[in-house]
Amino acid sequence: MEQVKISPFQLGLLVISIVAGSNLAPIEVLAKRDTWICIIMAMILGSIFIWAQTTLATKYTGKNLVQINELIYGKKIGIVINLFYSWYFMQLIALQIFDFSEFYKNLMLRETPQPVIAIVFLLLCGWAVWKGMEVIARCSEIVIPIIILAVIGTLFLIIPNFKFTNFLPYLQITTTDLIRSSSSLTAILFGEIICFLMIIPMINNHTKLRSAIFIGMYLGGALILLGSVYVIAVLGNTMEISSYPLLQLVRLIDLGEFFSRMEVLVTASFFWIIFLKIAVIYYAMVLNTAEIFKLKNMKPLIFPLGVLGVNLAFILFDNSGDHYSFIVNGYPQMAIPYQFVIPLISLLVIWIRKSLATKKEI
């Protein structure tokens, strides 16, 4: 297997890409003008998810998710759980690939078949995985700071269109819908950080592991929150009729010939942050599968698994309606067991074993 090291700083940047890379998901559909409240609640719930995941990692320093599951549950049950995680990672790849290919087909490649866009992009991500996690991490050092500056600068230019009245009235959704929307956003935005349990052994300073992940999570969440606040404040109720409200927001910027057509900058930012997100999840999926089958080299799995991921994307979803419906209604129920329930059960098993061992010593 690949023997590389990445820094806590690079880990934090990659976490930002996982969180902020969810910007194509229809999050405003969930709670409309109260989306910003749900995002804040999701950040609180996400902190609990990340606490469980990082606690598990710190109890088995130097071990990845596959190795941790086999140590906790035994080899046979551990293999079954790890195979389910491989399937989960592949579903994430399929979701992200469909998101990306649909976005660029609708925006600028209308005559290009969507599967062609998906295949070409996944080949690029596959090349990054082939080059290794160190290359992906170095890319994040260049891409993420530029994207953060671009997003903040772009949103600054839209301030003249800001209307606080668009936030009123508050809390128009029911308490049940608020809880459901917040839990859905937790799974969509923050739960996918679970994939880093495959990469954590590569960190060169494990004492800063938890802080790096939490800082990355909060910065990524802040970018999503900032974008959502601006979408609501500028577009108001019209955001509900737009498939990509953030892009619609940026199209309103027109400050002379230089500061117009700013959506080009946004689409470029989307491209690179989604590239990083898919590359990280893709790497985790391939490494997870290679570890299950005790392969010394994961590279032969890269393109076969990528082909399966692309095919799965177009098997699961016939159109954008199916895709959006799954993200809003089906994805949280599918994802939360992998993101939180299994790690929590693992911690419970560790606690029970430790308690029993303490009683025996007494």
Say if residues 273 and 21 touch (Cβ distance below 8 Å).
yes
Domain boundaries, the chain: 8-347
**pLDDT at residue 19, rounded to an integer:** 94
The C-alpha atoms of residue 16 and residue 41 are separated, in whole angstroms, by: 18
How many other C-beta atoms lie within 10 A of the C-beta of residue 50?
25
The stretches of the chain forming alpha helices (DSSP H) are 8-20, 27-31, 35-59, 65-73, 75-107, 114-131, 133-157, 175-185, 209-235, 245-250, 263-292, 302-316, 320-325, 331-336, 342-361
Say if residues 14 and 196 touch (Cβ distance below 8 Å).
yes
Q: How many residues does the chain have?
A: 362
**pLDDT at residue 120, rounded to an integer:** 94
**pLDDT at residue 350, rounded to an integer:** 93
**pLDDT at residue 254, rounded to an integer:** 65
**pLDDT at residue 247, rounded to an integer:** 77
- In the numeric block, which tokens belong to residue 90? 């592949």
- In the numeric block, which tokens belong to residue 58? 């710190």
How many other C-beta atoms lie within 10 A of the C-beta of residue 181?
25
**pLDDT at residue 2, rounded to an integer:** 63
Handedness of CA 158, 162, 166, 171 (dihedral sign): positive
Cβ neighbours of residue 312 closer than 8 Å, sequence gap 6 or more: 90, 91, 93, 94
- b/e burial code for range 289-315 (CB count within 10 A of at least 16 → b): bbbbeeeeebeebbbebbeebbebbee
- In the numeric block, which tokens belong to residue 162? 């800001």
Cβ neighbours of residue 234 closer than 8 Å, sequence gap 6 or more: 158, 161, 162, 163, 166, 249, 252
* Distance set, CA 354 to CA 45, 111, 342, 346 (Å): 27, 61, 18, 12
pLDDT tens figures, 237-285: 767 666 777 777 777 776 655 555 667 777 888 889 999 999 999 999 9
Q: What is the dihedral of CA 171, 173, 177, 181, to 10 degrees?
A: -60
pLDDT tens digits, the chain, 362 residues: what are they? Answer: 667 789 999 999 999 999 998 876 666 666 678 888 889 999 999 999 999 999 999 999 889 999 999 999 999 999 999 999 999 999 999 999 998 998 888 888 888 899 999 999 999 999 999 999 999 999 999 999 988 888 888 778 787 778 878 777 777 777 888 888 888 889 988 999 999 999 999 999 888 999 999 999 999 999 999 888 888 888 777 676 667 777 777 777 766 555 556 677 778 888 899 999 999 999 999 999 999 999 989 999 999 999 999 999 999 888 777 777 787 778 888 999 999 999 999 999 999 988 887 777 66
The stretches of 236-301 forming alpha helices (DSSP H) are 245-250, 263-292
Query: What radius of gyration, in Å, describes the C-alpha atoms of the chain?
Result: 21
The C-alpha atoms of residue 168 and residue 60 are separated, in whole angstroms, by: 48
Say if residues 184 and 30 touch (Cβ distance below 8 Å).
yes
* pTM more than 0.85: yes
**pLDDT at residue 1, rounded to an integer:** 60
Question: Per the CATH hierarchy, to which homologous superfamily does domain 8-347 belong?
Answer: Amino acid/polyamine transporter I (1.20.1740.10)
